[in-house]
Each structure stands twice: as C-alpha cells, then as structure tokens.
Amino acid sequence: MDELTREFVIESQEGLDRMERCLTELEERPGEMALLAEIFRSVHTIKGTTGFLGYKRLEKLAHAGENLLGLLREGKLEATAAIITGLLQLLDGLRLILQSIDETGSEGGGEDGALIALLEGLQTPVAAASPLAASAPRPEEMEAGPDERAALVEKVSVPEREAPRARSGTSTAAESSLRVDVTLLNRMMNLVGELVLTRNQVLQATALDPKMTMLSRRLDMVTADLREAVMRARMQPVSHVFSKMPRMVRDLSQALDKRVRLEMEGQETELDKSLLEAIKDPLIHAVRNAMDHGFETPEARRAAGKEAEGTLRLRAVQEGSHVIVDVSDDGAGISVEKVRAKAIERGLITAEHAAQLSERELLQLIFLPGFSTASSITNVSGRGVGMDVVRTNVEKIGGKVEIESKAGRGTTLRLRIPLTLAIIPALIVRGVGQSFALPQGPLSELVHVLPEETKGAIEWIENAPLFRLRGQLLPLVFLERLLLPAGAAGRGEGGECFIAVLDADGRNYGLVVDGLADPEEIVVKPLSPALKEIGLYSGATVLGNGDLALILDPGAIAVRAGIALSGEDERMHPEAEAEPDLRNTGLEYLLVEVAGRQAAVPLCDVLRIEQVPVERVEYLGQRPVLHFEGELLPVEDAGNLLAEARSRPQGRLVVVVCRDGNRQVGVAVSHVLDVTAGRELMEAGTSQQADGVTLLKERVTEVVQLGAVAPLQAESLAEVAG
C-alpha cells in the first residue's frame, strides 16, 4: 500500500469512529445540528478522497449516504430510528470496504445495491418513518448467498471482520500508526534537549570517577538513541509539500499560456515537520517565479532551438546533516547585465559598486527587498516581494539559499535546510574571555598558529589581515576585534591563536579565536530581541560545564566583516586558476603523527577529528572499537596509542574518523600535523616510493590504506548487541 492510500485508510477509519459515536448521540438528540454536521463531514471526506484514489465502489456507497445526510442537515428529514439504523448499516458497509482495502489493497467483490437502495428509499419522509427499515439486511447478508445469510445473522460482526487479519498475521494501517499532536512532539523535543544538556554536564562531572564511567557511558548511548527516535517521530516526507505543485504548475501554465512539464525527484526524503512547513512558502515563490520569469513562450523556445515544452524539476536529497531542495528550470536564465541595470535604477547599489561585483555576487541582488526585473506587475509576480521572502524564511530556520543561472540555459535555486534545529554539533571556542559555540556545518578545518609563527603567517594588505594557507590567501576576521573594536586593537598579532577556516554562504574566511575546547552537541535556544539586533548570533545554549554561551552565526560575521563572495571558478591567488581543485580530486592529505612516525590520510575521506576519553573505547575480541553516532567503528591503533593513553590520568585518544565506502573507520593518532597537497606528496618522493610509503619533508611518510582495516564481523556485532 502506498503512503497516500495508507493515510486515507487511517483518516477514514478515524472518521467512521467519530461517526459511530455521533450516531448514538443523535438518536437521543435528533435535532442536534452539530452532530449531523460531524457525520456529514466524515462521509463527505471519504467520498471526495475515493474519487481521487479510484475506489468506485466506496465512492458510490458514500455518495448514497451523503445524499441522505444532506437532507437531514437541511432539515428536510427528521433523524428517526429507521434513518439511524440505515446510517449504521452504511457505517458497517463502509468499514467492510475499508478493511478490504487495508488488508488486500482492493475493495473486494461485494455488491452494495440493496444497501444503496435502502439509503435512497429513506430519503422520502414516508420510508424514513417506517419501522420496517430497521430490519433491513446488513451488508454481510447482502454479500452472502441465500443459503449463508441465516448463518451470518447469528455471527458477531467484529470477529468476522477480524478473521482475515488473524489469518494474515499482519497489522493494519490503523493498528501500526498513532496520531500525535505536534505540540506534544515539540514538548518531547524540548525535554530531549534538556536531557542532552544534562548528559553533557554528567559526562564532565564523572570524568574523574572510574566508578561512574560505565553509567555515564550508558547514559550517553541511551540519550543519543532517544534523541534520534524523537527526531524520527517529527520527520515527514517532502512529498507533503511537493504534492501541491502539479496543480499549481498546471494552473499557471494555462494562465501564462506556457507549456511546462513538472518532474519531481526524492519525494521520500524526510524533513522535520516544522521545517517542512517553513519551506512551503519559499517553494511556492520559487515555482511561481520560474513559471513567470524563467520559462519562455512556446514560440520563443522554438526560436531558440528548444522544445516547445519546458521542464521544471523539483529535487530533494539528503546530504549529511542537511536536505538539499533544488528548483531547476530550462528557461531563459537570468541576465546578469539586466540585474545590474535594475539594481542601479532602483538605487539598491551605486554604479561604481555594481561594476566591481562578479556575476555570482550580482545574482545575489535578486534577494534584496523590492528587487524585480519584471517590466509589469501581474497577479503572478513582479512586485519584488518574492525572492527576499524566500531567503528570509529559509535563513530564519538556519538554512541557506544559493542560485545558479546560465543565460539561455536555465536557473537553479537551491535551498539547503538543516535536518533539525534543536540539537547541532558545535565547536566551543574562546574569545574576549568568554566561550562561544561555532556550528560545525560551515567549519572546514582548524589551524594552530604558534606565537613565533604569527608575524610571518599573518599578512596585512591595507589594514586587512590575510593568512597564507597552503599558498592561498585567506581573509581573516579576529573575533575580539569584531566584538570589542576599541579594546582589542592590538590583540591577535603576536600571540598564540587558532584559526577556524569557514565556508559560510559562499564566503571563505578564517575566524581567529584565542582558544578551543572540546566539541559538544548543543541545544539551540532562541535569543532575546536585544541580542538578535546585534546580528552576529543565531542562538544561545548551555554548555556541559553549566556556562551560558552564544552561538556564532558564520554567515552574519562574514557579511559584517565585508568578506566577498568566492566566485564559482575563482581562487585566492592567480596561480591556482590554472590548477584543478585538489580537494575535489581527492589529492589532499591530512598529515598525522603515529607514535613518532609520520602518516598521511586522504583528506576527502576524513569526516571528523575526535578527541575521546579512553573509557569510550571498548574491545571487540582483541580489536578496539568506538561507539560513534549510533555505530561501532573499528579503530586502527597501529602505534598502540590506546594503551599509552590508558596509562595517563584522564587519558584521551585522538581518533581521525574516516569514510571507507559505505562504512566508517577510526585511525588512532598522536597528533594532527598539517594538510598537504597530494602533488607535494608525490613530488617529494623519490625512487624509494614503494608500498604506499614516500618521503615528505625529509621524513618517511606512510599513506594510510583505509581498506586494509578489517570490517567488524556480524557475529561479533550480534554479541555486542546481546
């Protein structure tokens, strides 16, 4: 059974339950219009939906009942005992058909002619008052043969209807689902958030107590599983939003005299219900803009060498902790020069500023309030209140909006939505004597700059700090200078610092902070209006040690600091323009040290770098394993670092979590040294290269082969689960 039919069966059975309660009350209060309205609504909903799903037998029977109920609601008939009995017969008939649909997927081969005739006969006042109607045959009798009818009358209807289900041994849609109010789910999510905060505090408080280690680890695992279960309960497929688009595209195609074909992909992708509601309006705006501005008329498309019918594609896919929703068209695209001219004409930017903007930056102007390239205002679009609403609504829920367009080829609007807003992984950083939470989503890497290296590593061009990262100049933002411009004028130039390399809304920069703490899962709390006006924070949280911390907004920081958008094909220095992107081709390596030896891990396979207490590492036979994000990871401990860490008080193990195909593995390391290009790794090698070993910076460097890490056996995992 598909999801739409399953929901129809559940809703219809709930409606019939309400109808049965109302019918018994209606017999005591025949003139109660509210009861009649509730009964009519239940039958009318079933009839309307069955026509869409193609269940003709159910539709015909519900239609006959709806006609009788309509006369009752209009006051043309009185709810006599005969009519109540007839409606109860209708109720049983509808339930039998719904049960057949639920169990077999079809309406069954029964005949409802006698029941329909009874309902039609009750529509006359004389028949409605006749007590003979109360002895009308039940639906079970109408579907049975003459010889079986007498036996059926003696049977109890409920066991008879449950018999097919008992034989099949499967539960029905109504039994396997439960409707829960969204308010209750929100309350549960808030309580899970508080539990996560409590867990963080317990883990820190019991780190020094060996007796509490097992209990705290168990609390950690149960909290993670509970959080995952509650989040799953709030998830709904994006088909709930996509399903409204075919009708809209059809109506707009006729209104605009355009031919457009709608294609939808990834409708089964799930998103938090609150976020799903939040992106409904942005998607409607995006589709209306594509229909009005994006697609040409059939004649114009033929003249341009295209098919007369355009294609609008809606696509949803999950990537990590985000869901990507694309709205793509193969229309005329956006004219960058037209955008530039309109922005200047409307006074949104100056001509001098517009001349300095790249194509990608110019495309971002369409999100400004009041911006529109339409030559006239229609009932579809043109008022300049569409795309700014899209960006505002998406950014309000922590998402991003990106746009790509090629003149003559079409436009793609990409919405990047977080799976959930309640709990996110974050890195705790220090600045101006306080702790701040930095979301890990935009975080690319961390760079530690020693005091003696600061002056040589940080360059200044016209009072703008830059950091040369692997030959590329990265603009820097000092957190202290941003928060306390007057008091931090001389800070960050001669002392030790950490640089968090961020990619926020297409803006690449380094955030300079004073110190780092362990990463945490934080619970996002809303900000007060006073702090919202500052514009640098996206929320607040309570840390594991009980301190309050503000959550930094990397995108807002980049805008405040004046960081320019990175062009689609641009690099930070001219030499890189002719070189391929080494990250995308997998030619960058993370350099690590393992028990005094240097090794390299492919950077494209690195997911996270974790510093975990040794108590979290368990053994499966002779192999160390780590419980990570609900999975057991095999840990490669070639340098026997785990035993060394256990010998130290409060010992911690640095584990590089990597992706190897469809699984994850961990590599225990002593230190993380640097990131280097694969080109340097290959050029540094000599004829002595062999078996994945090369020379780099005069040191023997082994390339870690993740595939050589033996997988965990299913039998061993079963033992752990048991």
CA angle 670, 672, 678 (to 5 degrees): 125
Which of 455 and 496 is assigned the larger pLDDT? 496
Q: Average model confidence (pLDDT) for the chain? A: 76
pLDDT in tens, 639-669: 888 888 888 777 788 888 888 877 888 888 8
CA distance 290 to 404: 13
**SS (HEC) of 507-533:** EEEEEEECEEEEEEEEECECCCHHHHC
Q: Is 333 left (phi over 0), alpha (psi -120 to 50) or beta?
A: left
pLDDT at 577 over 60: no
Q: Is residue 326 part of a domain?
A: yes
Q: Are 435 and 360 in the same domain?
A: no
CA distance 148 to 150: 6
Q: Is residue 208 part of a domain?
A: yes
CA distance 385 to 291: 16
Q: Are 141 and 124 in the same domain?
A: yes
Q: What is the pLDDT of residue 314?
A: 93
Q: What is the pLDDT of residue 146?
A: 38
Q: Are 24 and 164 in the same domain?
A: yes
Q: Are 76 and 29 in the same domain?
A: yes
Residues in Cβ contact with 394 at an 8 Å cutoff, skipping those fewer than 6 apart: 278, 279, 282, 400, 401, 415, 417
Q: Are 567 and 606 in the same domain?
A: no
Q: Are 478 and 566 in the same domain?
A: yes
Band the pLDDT of 156: cuts 50, 70, 90. Answer: very low
Q: Are 375 and 433 in the same domain?
A: no
CATH of the domain at 8: 1.20.120.160
* 397 in Cβ contact with 446 (< 8 Å): no
Highest averaged pLDDT of the listed ranges 143-157, 175-189, 219-233, 455-469: 219-233
Q: What is the pLDDT of residue 137?
A: 47
Q: Are 333 and 187 in the same domain?
A: no
Model-level pTM greater than 0.75? Answer: no
Q: Which two tokens stand for residue 237?
A: 């497929």
SS3 687: coil
pLDDT in tens, 530-560: 777 787 888 888 887 778 889 888 878 887 8
Q: Are 433 and 569 in the same domain?
A: yes
Q: Is residue 370 part of a domain?
A: yes
pLDDT mean over 440-448: 85
Residues in Cβ contact with 64 at an 8 Å cutoff, skipping those fewer than 6 apart: 90, 115, 116, 119, 120
Say which range, 275-284, 383-392, 501-510, has the weakest mean pLDDT: 383-392
The last residue of one of the domains, among 537, 559, 578, is: 578
CA distance 94 to 139: 9
Highest averaged pLDDT of the listed ranges 74-88, 252-266, 361-375, 531-545: 252-266
Q: What is the pLDDT of residue 490?
A: 47
CATH of the domain at 264: 3.30.565.10
Q: Are 125 and 65 in the same domain?
A: yes
Band the pLDDT of 720: cuts 50, 70, 90. Answer: very low
CATH of the domain at 710: 2.40.50.180
Q: What's the domain range around 51?
A: 3-168
Q: Are 573 and 631 in the same domain?
A: no
The last residue of one of the domains, among 418, 434, 451, is: 418
Q: Is residue 70 part of a domain?
A: yes
pLDDT in tens, 212-268: 878 888 888 888 888 878 877 888 888 888 878 887 888 888 888 999 999 999 888
Q: Is residue 583 part of a domain?
A: no
pLDDT mean over 361-373: 74
Q: What is the pLDDT of residue 531?
A: 78
The last residue of one of the domains, among 578, 612, 643, is: 578
Q: Is residue 203 part of a domain?
A: yes
Classify residue 54 by its DSSP letter. T
CA distance 615 to 653: 10
**Identity of the residue numbered 258:** K
Q: Is residue 174 part of a domain?
A: no
Q: What is the pLDDT of residue 373?
A: 56
Q: What is the pLDDT of residue 11?
A: 81
Q: Are 214 and 247 in the same domain?
A: no
Q: For the chain, how many structural domains are there in total?
A: 5
Q: Is residue 614 part of a domain?
A: yes
Q: Which two tokens stand for residue 194?
A: 């508080």
pLDDT at 151 over 70: no
Q: What is the pLDDT of residue 276?
A: 86
How far is the first Cα of the chain from the last one, in angstroms, to the nearest whole number?
34
